[in-house]
Amino acid sequence: MRTYRYFLLLFWVGQPYPTFSTPLSKRTSGFPAKKRTLELSGNSKNELNRSKRSWMWNQFFLLEEYTGSDYQYVGKLHSDQDRGDGSLKYILSGDGAGDLFIINENTGDIQATKRLDREEKPVYILRAQAINRKTGRPVEPESEFIIKIHDINDNEPIFTKEVYTATVPEMSDVGTFVAQVSATDADDPTYGNSAKIVYSILQGQPYFSVESETGIIKTALLNMDRENREQYQVVIQAKDMGGQMGGLSGTTTVNITLTDVNDNPPRFPQSTYQFKTPESSPPGTPIGRIKASDADLGENADIEYSITEGEGLDMFDVITDQETQEGVITVKKLLDFEKKKVYTLKVEASNPHIEPRFLYLGPFKDSATVKIMVEDVDEPPVFSKLAYILQIREDAQINTTIGSVTAQDPDAARNPVKYSVDRHTDMDRIFNIDSGNGSIFTSKLLDRETLLWHNITVIATEINNPKQSSRVPLYIKVLDVNDNPPEFAEFYETFVCEKAKADQLIQTIRAVDKDDPYSGHQFSFSLAPEAASGSNFTIQDNKDNTAGILTRKNGYNRHEMSTYLLPVVISDNDYPVQSSTGTVTVRVCACDHQGNMQSCHAEALVHPTGLSTGALVAILLCIVTLLVTVVLFAALRRQRKKEPLIISKEDIRDNIVSYNDEGGGEEDTQAFDIGTLRNPEAIEDSKLRRDIVPEALFLPRRTPAACDNTDVRDFINQRLKENDTDPTAPPYDSLATFAYEGTGSVADSLSSLESVTTDGDQDYDYLSDWGPRFKKLADMYGGVGSDKDS
């Protein structure tokens, strides 16, 4: 059978009534002298029997911050199986057991060893048990109970901030929200009035007030002016216990600043200002500054200046300096001391940002009078116009007057003026000017097609004071004169098909004219008189400055005439009439059926009538064979081994030596040094004859160089003398060639004396008669002369 055991009750010994079943109405420093006892009951039959008790408790109460010298008594635990013989042992566990709370293991008395703070821990949960000392077995089941800490007013209210900062616009109405402060109290808000806070103002009256429950600070005085006082320091107190005596309190400081509003108009410190400026001041020149004061701040102190009335509304202007808030008076137009010496202006200063609720304070603007005196200065001459535009015909003669400019001294003295042209603008000195009356005339002939506009500068200078001068631009336009004939817009070379029909258009031509007539270009086209009668082509004028070239007959033969030169006369319609003759080249070409050009060369006529395909092939093979033979013959001739000129010692006769040596071109620097012929002063030291073997080796004899001014005859005579006395020369007459161009020439030699020669006569002109297929060979071998051996 299972046995049930419990801690049954916690009661006051000897107290038969439940007087402490409700919270105590008054705190004390301890509990009453009566003891609280927790009895444990049970029986030996392992059955749970509950005895009748006055009260049943599962919690104890303690006051925080106990100040007694002894341990604070909490309560007593007792089991009904405790017979007082010390056989039972009471054990305590849980929050603070053994440290904050101790138990007498024999009697079950519980005591607190330290001062407790509810704000640190308001509730402690513990467990109690009674065990047999001998066996160590529990005689009662473990029972849990609670110790609650009763609060006392031991914490003052604390504000969330030590110092608050707030702003409120000046001139605010009474009751305007400023800021809200807040304080907290660590005491128990559910027990008494320890945590009930009330706010009050200690410093800052009568300007501000605070709501006692919410801590909201409001304005309490009407029309607080920032210009009189800007900063306020308010001290707020928070007190617990509902503000009653004995409650704890805390304070905070609120720094309140009045922000600016536009409640002050600008004011000039003086009513009249006076300035001076020379009459030569250009527009935009500052004359002086004026400033109105405004007690406000920021944009509320912004000021705009304007000229409202006066004699110089159109002569002066006023602008606002945004950094200094000053009004800067500037020149708007050029001044003239001779016309007006004093100007009076009325300048107004106003606020651009106005708050309507303060309009009752008056207009937010002020005005002042400004007097400006113009000072006389020596001014440069003034031209009658800012710029001059003149015109002149391009066929005007030299010294033709174009026009004139006029300038005068604006001062009262009216000093005389002289004129000149700025030569930096007329480098070619095409124009000139009369220094006395300013007349412009030409000094050179003009050409509109070269330069249409001439932009020059004229200078006017005071004769008495040359430092005073002024300039004016002068634009001269050159008017066109019909002095240029029209001409072809491009070079025209066209073709006509051999099978062309009559009146067939083969080319459209256009013309251009450098002139620019007022009514536009109107060109007419026609054949030149010498070609109009027998021409094979005609000209059709399209009346739109173009013309077409048409065929005049059916069919053309390029073998009879391969090219036609067609002279075309182009005339304009201006006065005087100008005309020119241009030539159109027309080539006769073979064309396909669509008229597309195929060939324009005059080929040999071939009559295929009666020739079969085999005959044509045979002819072609013959031509190829002949061509190969010619090429091989030429190659063998060039590669033939040279024989000695003297075959026998007995054979002594006059000979013409044919070297037949073809050099390797300009890149061949080993075969022959042509520099000797180009410059006689440069002669190789050791150069021997290559046609015979000399019997004895003689060093070549250096001859003096020909003078720079020696002509060709002297040069040849000198070379003949050198050969006659040269021991290395052959003992028979020979042909000596010289390619002398003179010492002063830097050009290469164009002489043909060193051309390739052959021993036999050969004429390749017949290759040009074989048609276009042999044109390349004809160009290579045709017309090449051959040297004859003698």
Pick 766 or 490 by higher pLDDT.
490
Q: What letter represents residue 94's amino acid?
A: G
Check residue 109 and give its pLDDT.
85
Check residue 39 and give its pLDDT.
44
Radius of gyration of the chain (CA): 67
The rounded distance, in Å, linking the Cα atoms of 687 and 693 is: 13
Check residue 684 and give its pLDDT.
45
Contact criterion met (CB below 8 Å) for 410 and 374 = no
Question: 771 in the Ramachandran plot: left (φ > 0), alpha (ψ -120 to 50) or beta?
Answer: left
Contact criterion met (CB below 8 Å) for 79 and 88 = yes
Does the pLDDT of residue 215 top 80, yes or no?
yes
Check residue 665 and give its pLDDT.
57
| Digit-coded pLDDT (tens) for 114-143 | 888 777 888 888 888 888 888 888 888 888
What burial class does residue 675 get, using C-beta atoms within 10 Å of its C-beta: 0-12 exposed, 13-18 middle, 19+ buried? Answer: exposed
Q: Identify the CA nearest to 9 among candidates 69, 59, 47, 66.
A: 59
The rounded distance, in Å, linking the Cα atoms of 199 and 239 is: 7
Q: How far is CA 153 from the centre of its chain?
A: 74
Pick 520 or 589 by higher pLDDT.
589
Task: Give the number of C-alpha atoms closer than 13 A to the C-alpha of residue 32, restricted to the C-beta side.
Answer: 11
Q: Identify the CA nearest to 63 among candidates 122, 151, 125.
A: 151
Q: Identify the CA nearest to 438 among candidates 466, 464, 409, 403.
A: 403
Q: In a 3-state reduction of DSSP, which class is residue 769?
A: helix
Q: Identify the CA nearest to 374 among candidates 345, 344, 346, 342.
A: 342
Does the pLDDT of residue 50 top 70, yes or no?
no
Contact criterion met (CB below 8 Å) for 612 and 561 = no
DSSP 506-571: EEEEEEE-S---TT----EEEE-HHHHTT-SEEEEE-SSSEEEEEE-SS---TTT-SEEEEEEEEE
The rounded distance, in Å, linking the Cα atoms of 359 and 350 is: 13
Check residue 611 and give its pLDDT.
56
| pLDDT (mean) for 238-244 | 85
Choose the weakest-confidence range: 390-404, 614-628, 745-759: 745-759
Check residue 775 and give its pLDDT.
76
What does the block give as tokens for 276? 């001076």
Check residue 423 and give its pLDDT.
93
Does the pLDDT of residue 602 top 70, yes or no?
no
| Digit-coded pLDDT (tens) for 427-455 | 999 999 999 999 999 999 999 989 999 99
Helix or strand holding residue 721 (H, E):
helix 712-724
Pick 44 or 649 by higher pLDDT.
649
Report residue 674's pLDDT band, with 50, 70 and 90 as the boundaries.
Answer: low
| Digit-coded pLDDT (tens) for 721-758 | 887 777 776 666 667 666 666 555 544 444 444 444 44
What are the backbone angles phi and psi of residue 654, rounded to the nearest 5°?
A: -75, 135
| Digit-coded pLDDT (tens) for 65-119 | 777 778 888 888 777 777 778 788 888 888 888 888 888 888 888 888 888 877 7
Contact criterion met (CB below 8 Å) for 36 and 80 = no
Q: What letter represents residue 133's amino acid?
A: R
Within 10 angstroms of residue 295's Cβ, the number of other Cβ atoms is 15
The rounded distance, in Å, linking the Cα atoms of 47 and 529 is: 160
Check residue 74 and give its pLDDT.
82
The rounded distance, in Å, linking the Cα atoms of 136 and 53 is: 28
Contact criterion met (CB below 8 Å) for 183 and 197 = yes
Does the pLDDT of residue 377 top 70, yes or no?
yes
Report residue 25's pLDDT band, with 50, 70 and 90 as the boundaries.
Answer: very low
Q: Identify the CA nearest to 390 among candidates 454, 460, 471.
A: 454
Check residue 313 and give its pLDDT.
86
Q: How do 579-591 and 563-571 pair as beta strands?
A: antiparallel
What does the DSSP 8-state code read for residue 226?
T
Q: Enter the pTM of the model.
A: 0.41
Through-space distance between the first and last CA atoms of the chain, rounded to whole angstroms: 166
What are the backbone angles phi and psi of residue 720, rounded to the nearest 5°?
A: -65, -40
Contact criterion met (CB below 8 Å) for 103 and 77 = yes
Report residue 646's pLDDT band, with 50, 70 and 90 as the boundaries.
Answer: very low
Tell me the average pLDDT of the chain.
Answer: 78
Map tokens 């066109």 to a residue: 480
Q: Identify the CA nearest to 547 among candidates 556, 557, 555, 537.
A: 537
Contact criterion met (CB below 8 Å) for 741 and 753 = no
| pLDDT (mean) for 281-289 | 93
Check residue 7 and give its pLDDT.
36
What does the DSSP 8-state code read for residue 770?
G
Pick 425 or 155 by higher pLDDT.
425
The rounded distance, in Å, linking the Cα atoms of 754 and 736 is: 12
Does the pLDDT of residue 777 top 90, yes or no?
no
Q: Is the bond into 206 cis (omega within 30 degrees of 0)?
A: yes
The rounded distance, in Å, linking the Cα atoms of 567 and 536 is: 12
The rounded distance, in Å, linking the Cα atoms of 145 and 92 is: 11
Check residue 329 and give its pLDDT.
94
Check residue 525 and give its pLDDT.
92
Helix or strand holding residue 714 (H, E):
helix 712-724
Map tokens 């021993």 to a residue: 759
The rounded distance, in Å, linking the Cα atoms of 503 and 505 is: 6
What does the block give as tokens for 202? 């200690």
Q: What letter represents residue 685's amino acid?
A: D
Check residue 142 and give its pLDDT.
84
The rounded distance, in Å, linking the Cα atoms of 286 and 759 is: 104
DSSP 154-222: ----EES-SEEEEEEETTPPTT-EEEE--EE--S-TTSTTTT--EEEEEESTTTEEE-TTT-EEEE-SS
| Residue 359 CB contacts under 8 Å (≥ 6 apart), including other chains | none
The rounded distance, in Å, linking the Cα atoms of 8 and 58 is: 9
Check residue 492 and give its pLDDT.
92
Report residue 459's pLDDT band, with 50, 70 and 90 as the boundaries.
Answer: very high
| Digit-coded pLDDT (tens) for 657-673 | 555 555 555 555 555 55
Contact criterion met (CB below 8 Å) for 304 and 292 = no
The rounded distance, in Å, linking the Cα atoms of 718 and 710 is: 10
Pick 412 or 177 by higher pLDDT.
177
Report residue 705's pLDDT band, with 50, 70 and 90 as the boundaries.
Answer: very low
The rounded distance, in Å, linking the Cα atoms of 185 and 156 is: 6
Alpha helices by DSSP H, 205-309: none
The rounded distance, in Å, linking the Cα atoms of 191 and 150 is: 8
| Residue 43 CB contacts under 8 Å (≥ 6 apart), including other chains | 49
What are the backbone angles phi and psi of residue 517, rounded to the nearest 5°?
A: -65, 155
What does the block give as tokens for 229? 């006082």
CA-angle at 721, arms to 719 and 724, nearest 5°? 110
The rounded distance, in Å, linking the Cα atoms of 72 and 759 is: 155
Contacts 24+ apart (CB under 8 A), 590-596: 590/497, 590/498, 590/558, 591/497, 591/498, 591/499, 595/497
Using the CB atoms, write b or e for 453-466: b if 16+ within 10 Å. Answer: ebebebbbbbeeee
